[in-house]
Amino acid sequence: MLQGDRLATRFYLSEGMSRADTALRLTVNGLEGHLRRYEALPELLADHDDIRALFAPGAEGRRQAMNMWLQETNDVLQSSDIYVMGMDGTTIAASNYQRADSFIGQNFAYRPYFTEAAAGRNGRFYALGTTSGVRGYYFSAPVRGADGAVAGVIVFKIGLDALESSWAGGEFRILVLDTEGIIFMSSEPEWRYTAMLPLTGERSERTTASRRYSDATIGLLPHSRSAEQGMPLLRLANRDAPPQEYLEATQAMPDAGWTVHVLVDTAYLRGQARLAVVALLLLICAAGFGAVLVWQRRARLAERMQMQAAAQVELERRVDERTADLARVNALIEMEIAERRLTEQELRRTQADLVQAGKLAALGQMSAALSHEINQPLAAARNYADSAAILIDRGEPVRARENVGQILSLIDRMAAIAKHLRNVARKPNEPLKDLALPLVVAEAMQIVGNRLQAAGAEVLVDLAPDLPPVRGGAVRLQQVLVNVLSNAADATEDGPDRRIHLTAHAEGDAVVIHIRDHGPGVPAAIAERIFDPFFTTKRVGSGLGLGLSISYNIMKDFGGELRVANDPDGGAVFSLILQSALPRRMAAE
Ligand code: ADP
């Protein structure tokens, strides 16, 4: 850290030093250039005829013209003043002749530039004007008379104020010291006319004799010199504040007898060095911070990746678990399916067995019924035929004929049975029509009339007046009605109440016919089977068990239904549900 500070200070000080050197070079060049412009002019003018003529006897009259000429020349050359002195040091002509503080008549014999020129040499001197109070640099040259001897002195005074004021306010402090070490030009006005060398009596005397600084009092500029890292430092005491430290670059101007000093405030340079060190520190801190950030980021990233990996593993574990569960469930389902299949197969087999058994049962029933129905009339017919043969042999044709008649009626009966069987097996091709129910009922009543009469049954018909036509075949519907009514008559044959109620009414799109008797009704066990073919409870010879089965199928063909139920007051209720023709027609219209 200290090393860094040292390095930075060294860098900024040496950089300040090199800038001071550059500024110094420029300042010296500027000063020298400024002086050089006027250096040769006094000598040149001293040789001018008009000037020399001033010293011819009786030339006083020329002085005014000379004054004017000097003024013009001074304006053109931009010098401060040009004046001519006699050998006694009194000014006889001057460019500032018009001014109140004109040099004319003034005696400057005490100025070294005069004594030098009067001695025949070119003189140069820097001083504060005793008359004008304006600082200037004086160049002088002897003016020689016709005999070649020095007759007078011509002097150029150049102002340095403009040059000096251009130094003010800059980065550098600029001092110009004379041979005695007195600051006579400075970018800081308060340092002007202070000495940097001790004011010994000898020096003071020289300054006072030449009245170089007129009446100005010369103070001492308290200072000390040192060096840091090989660079010269100047410390100037301040009245109230701590001493100020400067880098010092110095160059002598031997022609003018001056020394130029350029000072650079080290406070600013040291500040810059500190700033650089701080900036470097900050940079290091920022880099460290950045590194920490990057490290943290990496750590976080690694942590996140670790977490992700863990989550992935967990996910995979869960997926595996789930997969295993699913596989288990799958296996279970498969097992169940296999079981079901087995059960189904068994069921099918059982079903098939049942069907087979049912078929056999039905066949058995049918064979029993058929064999009885056919055997009985066959046996009877045989008896009748035998008797008829005997009666014919005996010559009793009338009785024989009676027997033949009996045989014929037995044959008719068998033919009727055959017809029944045909009806079961074959579907009639009768197309469905719209039927007026009262008509069908009336015809059926006619057909079944004898049977009812024989059973002593009474049918009470009650048809709703606004019954719509129904869909069906007239003959088949009559057959159903005849069947159901005959069964009702059979059921009530031995009972006390032989009334049979036939009612019909419309119910939505259907027409329902109820046929109710007052017989024993249908036990639940039987109700399930009464629509099966060949199911009968009647004694052998009384019924084939086909009536309800045929009726059921007929009703299905009509798109209707045949149902059985028991009336709460006793007796069976058969319901014939038929499609009413009305809505369909209306839809067709
Ligand atoms: P069948 O009349 O030749 O026996 P059906 O198929 O017409 O054949 O009748 C089957 C059986 O339904 C009858 O044997 C009888 O037991 C029963 N059954 C039919 N109608 C009635 C009724 N109104 N009351 C009681 N039982 C009936």
In a domain, 272, yes or no: no
Ligand 1 atom 23, closest CA = 488
| DSSP per-residue letters across 109-127 | TTSHHHHHHHTTS-EEEEE
A 10 A CB-CB count for 527 gives: 15
Cβ of 115 below 6 Å from ligand 1: no
Decide: pTM greater than 0.85: no
Probe residue for ligand 1, chosen from 530, 552, 562, 567 as the CB with the greatest number of ligand atoms within 8 Å: 530
Asked which of 104, 129, 159 is the last residue of a domain, the reply is: 159
Which range has the worst mean pLDDT, 419-423, 462-466, 562-566? 419-423
In a domain, 135, yes or no: yes
Q: 399: which 2 tokens?
A: 């009785």
Q: Among residues 114, 213, 105, 103, which one has the least CA distance to residue 154?
A: 114
In a domain, 121, yes or no: yes
**Closest atom of ligand 1 relative to the 538 alpha carbon:** 14
Number of structural domains in the chain: 2
The structure tokens 């009922």 sit at 441
Q: Is 180 in a helix, a strand, or coil?
A: coil
In a domain, 177, yes or no: no
pLDDT tens-digit map of 63-80: 898 999 999 999 998 899
Side chain identity at 45, as an amino acid letter?
L
In a domain, 572, yes or no: yes
Q: In this predicted structure, what is the pLDDT of residue 588?
A: 41
Instruction: Return d(Cα 498, Cα 379) in angstroms, integer.
Output: 35
pLDDT exceeds cutoff 80 at 354:
no
Report strand pairing: 172-177 vs 150-159.
unpaired
For residue 504, the CA-to-ligand 1 centroid distance in Å is 22
Instruction: Return d(Cα 400, Cα 382) in angstroms, integer.
Output: 13
Question: Under a CB-based contact definition with an 8 Å cutoff, are residues 512 and 502 in contact?
Answer: no
Q: In this predicted structure, what is the pLDDT of residue 488?
A: 94
Mean pLDDT of the region 336-362: 82
Q: In this predicted structure, what is the pLDDT of residue 286?
A: 93
**Closest atom of ligand 1 relative to the 519 alpha carbon:** 24
Q: Among residues 507, 506, 503, 528, which one has the least CA distance to residue 515?
A: 503
In a domain, 468, yes or no: yes
E runs forming strands in 240-363: 244-253, 258-265
Cβ of 488 below 6 Å from ligand 1: yes
Asked which of 126, 159, 192 is the last residue of a domain, the reply is: 159
Cβ of 544 below 6 Å from ligand 1: yes
pLDDT tens-digit map of 288-316: 999 999 999 999 999 999 999 999 999 99
Q: In this predicted structure, what is the pLDDT of residue 154?
A: 94
Q: Among residues 104, 143, 147, 93, which one has the least CA distance to residue 122?
A: 143
Dihedral, CA of residue 13, residue 18, residue 24 and residue 30, to nearest 10:
-140
C-alpha R_g of the chain: 80
Q: Is 497 in a helix, a strand, or coil?
A: coil
| Cα maximum dimension of the chain | 233
CATH number of the domain where residue 436 is located: 3.30.565.10
In a domain, 249, yes or no: no
For residue 467, the CA-to-ligand 1 centroid distance in Å is 28
For residue 491, the CA-to-ligand 1 centroid distance in Å is 8
Q: 197: which 2 tokens?
A: 């060398």
Asked which of 159, 188, 218 is the last residue of a domain, the reply is: 159
140 - beta bridge partners? 123, 155
pLDDT tens-digit map of 207-227: 777 777 777 778 888 888 888
Q: In this predicted structure, what is the pLDDT of residue 589?
A: 42
Ligand 1 atom 15, closest CA = 537
* Mean pLDDT for the chain overall: 87
In a domain, 435, yes or no: yes
Cβ of 164 below 6 Å from ligand 1: no
CATH number of the domain where residue 121 is located: 3.30.450.20
Q: Which domain holds residue 106?
A: 40-159
